[in-house]
């Protein structure tokens, strides 16, 4: 799988090793039969700057080799529970010795195979209600489970460590808001109804203030009517667009999820959406950091205008508006959709910057292509983007002003992934863009970045010629503004 993504020139940053990787659930020991050279494999991934995610839960099965020890020492709640992977008992996170023992197994795992950058902390926490202990509510247990899974990796691996866990699923809050920035909304069917359900939970996660999340592209479960691949090409690509236009783009589950096993068109369209997602990462990272620090928002805010009711449309950060397409394409297909208010009263078509629409109105949009969905940028937004054409190592930024200039000044904040905070300041009168260094958060060694300014207007990308080093008060003089 790893090599095929590379050979098809599809970028990725994470490999998630899902359930059944261990000798038994939550032994934290890789199965030596399935993975005879696991350290070499994972080191090979890390050498290419790929992060590792490993599935876990808070359950130990009664047939697991570490069950008897945990049971004998009183580390488990005293109730055997039937769950989707057998029968087991829940770890007691309120027993300090139990938590130390649990951590010792995770430490041994990392000593053996190297750093695991995230746990996919799956949802065994609701089973606590079967324990019937009035002192341990589901809210108390889930808070302990997700917090501990997050904090142990932060301690052992460093500030890049995360957990992959549910924000809202089945209309219920799972993870605490301050530990899930890589959420996924549970296992959905590989159908349009499944996509609508995923969107409903994602938008509800936004309403409840979770910062970052996504869903399994194409659905986790299969569609029995879709043939041997388990989902149709059309559904897969409609969901890919939603995945790319989420903060967490992830793909996996039952049935076929590898785009090249559909056809070459699917591969090309999938790659184009991945590239768009990568271009938007600086914007998503910066806007996500702002709302995470302020604890005052989300990256995926639903459009709650009455006119947009049932459309599942949403804002991606403050400047991008997305309308998902929830049906197969047909020749000449159009969709009537609502454009909400914007600060400049104008929206620009992302895929055709010569088209500008007034806000707070209905328009009719072409949805007959699999490689497009209705996607709009607020006019005069100043958006930081990666220039992946220049450098796939992701150290080159384009600071893009969208559309003809109607504002004399514009500012935005850039957070880089090494903890630097910058202010970008556009001035039409002085005809320049200036960057100001604000601060360095306690993260790691400062990286070197390059940047240039671009204006996207009238189906053109007009850019400054020189690449500049990102340093305090660096500026570019702009003689070409439209």
Q: For the chain, how big is the Rg over CA atoms in Å?
A: 24
The pLDDT mean for the chain works out to 96
What mean pLDDT is predicted for residues 205-225? Answer: 97
Q: Is the pLDDT of residue 414 over 80?
A: yes
Q: What single DSSP character describes residue 174? A: -
Contact assessment for residue 339 and residue 360, using Cβ atoms and an 8 Å cutoff: yes
Token readout for 450 is: 């390059």
How, if at all, do strands 356-358 and 346-349 pair? antiparallel
Residues 182-209, buried b or exposed e (16+ Cβ, 10 A)? bbbbbbbbbbbebbebbbbbbbbbbeee
Give the count of beta carbons closer than 10 Å to the beta carbon of residue 341.
Answer: 12
pLDDT tens for each residue of 253-283: 999 999 999 999 999 999 999 999 999 999 9
Conformational region of residue 41, where left means phi above 0, alpha means psi within -120 to 50, and beta covers everything else: alpha
pLDDT tens for each residue of 131-145: 999 999 999 999 999
How, if at all, do strands 432-440 and 475-477 pair? antiparallel
pLDDT band at 231 (very low <50, low <70, confident <90, very high): very high
Which of helix, strand or coil describes residue 44?
helix
CA atoms within 13 A on the CB side of 235: 25
pLDDT at res. 443: 65
DSSP character string of 288-305: HHHHHHHT---SEEE---
Q: What percent of the chain has pLDDT over 90?
A: 96
Distance CA 199, CA 71 (A): 41
Distance CA 4, CA 270 (A): 14
Contact assessment for residue 258 and residue 1, using Cβ atoms and an 8 Å cutoff: yes
pLDDT tens for each residue of 148-158: 999 999 999 99
pLDDT tens for each residue of 363-407: 999 999 999 999 999 999 999 999 998 877 789 999 999 999 999
Q: Is the pLDDT of residue 444 over 70?
A: no
Distance CA 252, CA 273 (A): 16
Which of helix, strand or coil describes residue 314?
strand
What mean pLDDT is predicted for residues 464-477? Answer: 95
What mean pLDDT is predicted for residues 44-63? Answer: 97
pLDDT at res. 445: 76
Element (H or E) spanning 45, and its range?
Answer: helix 38-47
Distance CA 433, CA 435 (A): 7
Contact assessment for residue 257 and residue 218, using Cβ atoms and an 8 Å cutoff: yes
Domains, the chain, in order of start with CATH, read: 2-297 (3.20.20.80), 314-378 (2.60.40.1180), 382-477 (2.60.40)
């Amino acid at each position: 799988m790893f090599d095929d993504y590379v050979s098809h020139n599809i970028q990725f940053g994470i490999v998630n090793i899902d359930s059944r990787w261990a000798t038994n659930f939550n032994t934290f020991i890789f199965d030596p039969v399935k993975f005879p050279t696991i350290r070499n494999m994972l080191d090979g991934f890390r050498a290419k700057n790929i992060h590792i995610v490993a599935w876990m839960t808070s359950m130990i099965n009664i047939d697991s080799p570490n069950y008897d020890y945990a049971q004998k020492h009183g580390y488990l709640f005293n109730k055997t529970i039937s769950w989707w992977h057998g029968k087991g008992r829940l770890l007691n996170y309120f027993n300090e010795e139990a938590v130390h023992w649990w951590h010792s197994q995770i430490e041994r795992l990392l000593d053996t195979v190297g750093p695991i950058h995230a746990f996919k902390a799956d949802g065994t926490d609701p089973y606590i209600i079967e324990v019937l202990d009035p002192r341990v509510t589901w809210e108390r247990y889930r808070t302990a489970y997700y917090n501990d899974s997050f904090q142990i990796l932060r301690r052992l691996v460093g500030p890049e460590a995360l957990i992959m866990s549910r924000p809202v699923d089945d209309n219920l809050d799972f993870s605490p808001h301050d530990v899930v920035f890589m959420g996924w909304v549970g296992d959905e069917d590989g159908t349009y109804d499944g996509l609508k359900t995923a969107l409903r939970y994602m938008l509800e996660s936004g309403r409840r203030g979770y910062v970052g999340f996504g869903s399994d592209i194409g659905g986790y479960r299969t569609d029995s009517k879709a043939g041997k691949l388990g989902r149709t090409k059309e559904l897969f690509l409609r969901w890919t667009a939603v995945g790319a236009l989420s903060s967490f783009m992830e793909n996996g589950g039952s049935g076929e999820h590898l785009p090249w096993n559909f056809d070459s068109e699917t591969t090309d369209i999938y790659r184009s959406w991945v590239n768009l997602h990568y271009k938007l990462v600086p914007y998503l990272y910066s806007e996500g950091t702002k709302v995470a620090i302020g604890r005052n928002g989300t990256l995926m805010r639903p459009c709650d205008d009455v006119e947009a009711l049932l459309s599942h449309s949403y804002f991606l950060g403050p400047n991008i508006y997305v309308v998902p397409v929830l049906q197969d394409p047909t020749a000449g297909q159009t969709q009537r959709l609502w454009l909400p208010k914007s600060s400049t009263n104008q929206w620009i078509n992302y895929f055709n910057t010569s088209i500008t629409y007034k806000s707070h109105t209905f328009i009719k949009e072409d949805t007959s292509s699999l490689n497009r969905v209705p996607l709009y940028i607020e006019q005069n937004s100043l958006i930081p983007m990666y220039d992946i054409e220049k450098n796939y190592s992701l150290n080159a930024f384009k600071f893009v002003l969208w559309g003809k200039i109607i504002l004399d000044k514009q500012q935005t904040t850039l957070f880089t992934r090494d903890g630097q905070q910058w202010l970008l300041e556009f001035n039409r009168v002085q005809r320049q863009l200036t960057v100001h260094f604000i601060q360095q958060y306690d993260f790691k060694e400062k990286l070197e970045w390059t940047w240039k300014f671009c204006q996207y207007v009238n189906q053109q990308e007009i850019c400054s010629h020189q690449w500049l080093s990102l340093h305090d008060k660096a500026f570019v003089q702009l003689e070409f503004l439209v």
